[in-house]
Structure 1
Amino acid sequence: MGGNAFKFAGLSFPRISAALYCEVRNFATTILQQHFTHVIVPSELPSKTDFGDVDFLVSGPIDPSIAVSITPTRHPTTWNLWPVVDAIKSPAGFHTPHGRKGGKNPDIMYFAILPPDREDPNFWIQIDVKVCPDVKRFEWDVFQLRYASAAKFVGSMIKPLGLTIDNEGLYLRVQEMEEVNWEGSMVFLGDKPEDVLAVAGLDDRMVKGRFARNEELFEYLTSYWLFNPQHFAERLKDLRYVEHIEKRAPWWLSFIYEWIPARFPGYRFPSGPSGDDSQNQDLDQWYAIKRSEVREKVFGMFPAHVRSGYEEKKRVHLQGVEEARLRELIKAAIPKGDEDWKDTYSLIPPILYKPAVDSLDAIPMKGDGNGSASTIKIDTSGTVNFVGMWKKRFEKEDAKSAGTRRIERRLARLTPALIVDLEG
């Protein structure tokens, strides 16, 4: 909302007409192009008739001194913006005393200017200039801001289908990992808008700004193969989601609450000519089917390293899960309660997987009182049966003797490896 950045200054910021908006936009573009190689005003909704401020996205500083804090990583740090703020608000720029760098948003510069050729002290216009530190990601940032951040609508729909869109790019998530390690589950696909649109099956109108009416944009956003109106019906049952979207732009609320249910009554696909209602299947089932289809489409679209990276993450995760399961089985198989036998150790032996061979011997453990015994198979070829060795030593030693301390010192120097027969 225009003027929010200058509440402390006591300035007045009336909403401005489309004609005045275009005049200010053109004037500010000329000034900003003196300081940045990339300057753009993200596309607004076609039907918007008045504006609270003018938003710019810029990148590529012409003066290298303002980029001294950028680091050679995929997540550049904030620019040193104060010199460019002073330059832009100078008489050679916007000619205004009101300009500052954001506090909570340090990558945004805020300016308040008088309308061109006007001297009304009660009529100021706010200009917000968001900077993209990495010029290579400029196109991605523009994509996220076009049409009042319409990309967030697409992102909401594809999130339960295994894809994530954030400020850095597009990711495919490993389903088996996401509940325990969300960040670790993500495989980076890229930061090209056309990749998102290709996966979703949308054309390039969202990038090139070819919508003449809001309804044309809304039809576009609900026409791709990964859209399902039931998704939003379910989301609206979540109070936290409702509170979140209430903070969004008015068009978003109108789109979710009014346009979608009018176009899709009851947030359901319309039935076919013969009354076929097959599209309205159980939502969780629809998610599962589409997620599998999305994954295979991504593997076919992107280089081979995407599939191999995905499979490697999945393999490592599942191996860790299996190792944890096997450790629990081994701990349960080791008898407890014998004199000098401990339930815990400072060292956790790593599990090494090896196919079963004929030479494996079944080593009896503690009986259950009915003449039967639990067994665990250990590959003794070229290895040491540490479990048996530890138990035998513990049984022979008195826990209160000095020998116990010697054994603990020896154990501290060992890194045993249990070779487990997976078919045992």
Structure 2
Amino acid sequence: MGGSAFALRVPPLNTPRMPSEIYTRVLQHTLALLQSHYEYCAAPIEGPGKTTFGDVDVLVASPVSESYSPFLKNSFILMKPVAEKLKTLLNAEALITTAGNPTVNFAVPWPDDNYQSASDKRYVQVDVHHLPTAERFQWELFHSAHGDLWNILGATIRPFGLTANDVGLYLRIPEIEALDKKKSLIFLTSDPKRVLDFLGLDEDKWWKQFETQGEMFQYATKNRMFWVKEEADDVKEGDVLTNVDLGQEGGDAGKKKLKHNDRQRMAKRPIFRAWIDEFIPMLRKQGGPKEPEITREQIRDEAFYKFGVREVYEKRLKDWQLARHLEELKRDMIKGQIPPVEEIPEGPPFRSAAIRMLIDVIMGGKEFDGTIPPAARKSEEGFYDLDLVQSFITLNWRRAGELGLAHQQVRAMETMRAKEQKKRKAAEEMDRHACAAGPI
């Protein structure tokens, strides 16, 4: 939380930004304490050029005893007991937990602090992030490294159908992502080495801190999907563009095309802002790479080969296309081809009956006047011939309404008879009980 978690506490605690020496001292002391209780314990590599720090972030996983694990077998996160144990271990004065969140904020006394009163006392915010597995720990350590670097890489790989989040690297299915981003994601890997290899980035350099912001920016340009788009002159403030992801544009035009999340990052993250405002325009003037050397389709095919996800990808796409096909069949073809209520003399009940009957016949396999019509036949993949469906509905929707109403009447009569039979049985049962009890 950047060192601001305890500002809203009552009373608030003073957690000012730390100079490097205080940050390093607190980090090393915290790691030494936690390493006795967790097999995995480390801090992400910091971004370049930082001279002050808002908080100390530490990742932990695989506790040596269950008393230090917030993850229960039923996936429920029970953070409070673990947080209290860590509070004692870290000699923290206060802590903050959030239900369901495996991260705890601690207010640790500032080292060797000389304060005149309690209100002057300073603290260091230490955030301990619990990861459920060693694999997730390694990925988070990788994904959180170098501060804003993944924001930069994410904006570069996004137009090629790749997304990295707190779980791993994913391939997106373009036909799905516009309507359902979550369903469009195909998991590739959470192995940092495989990710860097796929992006074409040097692994050794990744695990070392960059000395300067410029050095980190130059490293980001080695991503094989990086290229600089020519500056557009016809983009106006407020324009909504759908192909905003094609290339790194930067400058004023690039800012107008950024996605909402990226615009938020620009406002809050000075390094990402420098990448967009300064570095990309500088590369453009220097004649940086102006054409991508690879396409989204090539990246997809490489992912199929390297991560073995072709079958998962194709099945997800097929299932989604079939679900959309059936939804459109019901909504647009069956319901949409029948005239509106005001054009049907028999009124709403007739139209509703026609719709229900046509759904039962076409999608449910019910006979229509004693036969299964060709419009109800599906391909091996489950798709219907929409031309046959449309023709059948146009010719038979009125007959479907008649059959539907007749079916409803039969069903209503059966329901009434069943209710009457149930009442008779209940009355007979009461009579038997009365006879068995004898006279009062």
TM-score by length of 2: 0.68
Partner in structure 1 of residue 317 of structure 2: 314
| Separation of aligned partners in 2, 1:27 and 1:409 | 80
Q: How far did residue 102 of structure 1 move?
A: 2.8
Task: Give the Cα–Cα distance (whole angstroms) in 1 for the partners of residues 262 and 2 of structure 2.
Answer: 25
Q: Matched residue of 1:209: which SS?
A: coil
Q: Deviations over 1:132-181 (max 9, x none)?
A: 13333111111121111422321222222212212222211222122223
Q: Unaligned regions of 5+ residues in structure 2, if any?
A: 230-247, 364-375, 381-387, 415-440
Q: Which residues of 2 match residues 267-286 of structure 1 at below 5 A?
A: 270=287, 280=290
Could you say which residue in structure 2 is the equivalent of 1:299? 304
Q: 1:210, CA displacement in angstroms?
A: 4.9
Q: Deviations over 1:374-402 (max 9, x none)?
A: 9669xxxxxxxxx979939948x9x7xx7
* Identical-pair percentage: 26
Assess if the C-alpha contact under 8 Å between 2:44 and 2:145 holds in 1: yes
Is the CA contact 1:2–1:13 (under 8 Å) kept in the aligned structure 2? no
Alignment match, 2:419? none
Other structure's SS at 1:146 match = coil
Q: 1:337 and 1:104 mapped to 2: Cα distance? A: 56
Aligned-partner Cα distance in 2 for 1:126–1:393: 70
Task: Find the partner of 2:98 among 98, 103, 106.
Answer: 103
Q: How many residues align?
A: 357
Q: Measure, in 2, the Cα distance between the counterparts of 1:14 and 1:291.
A: 45
Is 1:2–1:125's contact at 8 Å kept on the other side of the alignment?
A: no
C-alpha distance in structure 2 between counterparts of 1:149 and 1:183, whole Å: 24
Is it true that 1:59 corresponds to 2:61 in the alignment?
yes
| Partner residue, 2:6 | 6
Q: Which residue of structure 2 lines up, in the alignment, with residue 418 of structure 1?
A: none
Taking the aligned partners of 1:66 and 1:43, their CA distance within structure 2 comes to 25
RMSD: 3.9
**2:18, 2:54 within 8 Å by CA — same for their partners in 1?**
yes
What is the Cα deviation at residue 314 of structure 1? 1.8
Matched, 1:261 2:276: no
Aligned to 2:378, what secondary structure does the other structure show? strand
1:217 is matched with which residue?
216
- Would the alpha carbon gap of residues 333 and 244 (structure 1) be closer, same or farther in structure 2, given more than 3 Å must change? closer
**Equivalent runs, 1:19-418 vs 2, <5 Å:** 19-67=21-69, 69-71=71-73, 76-78=75-77, 80-90=78-88, 93-96=89-92, 98-103=93-98, 106-120=101-115, 122-205=121-204, 207-230=206-229, 231-233=248-250, 236-238=255-257, 240-241=260-261, 243-265=263-285, 270=287, 280=290, 290-303=295-308, 306-323=309-326, 343-345=354-356, 347-348=359-360, 349-350=362-363, 351-354=376-379, 391=399, 394=402, 405-406=409-410
- Say whether the 8 Å CA contact 1:202–1:224 is kept in structure 2: yes
Alpha-carbon distance, 1:6 to partner:
2.2
* Cα distance in 1 between the residues matched to 2:76 and 2:195: 26
Partner Cα separation in structure 1 for residue 320 and residue 172 of structure 2: 13
Q: Which amino acid aligns with 1:87?
A: K
Q: Which amino acid aligns with 2:146?
A: Y
Deviations 1:17-42 (A, max 9, x none): 32232222211111111222211111
More helix by share: 2
> 1:148 is paired with a residue of what secondary structure?
coil
Give 3-state SS (helix, strand or coil) of 1:127's partner: strand
Letter in 2 for 1:106: N
Q: Give 1:290 deviation, angstroms.
A: 1.9
Give the conservation status (yes or no) of the 8 Å contact 1:99–1:109: no
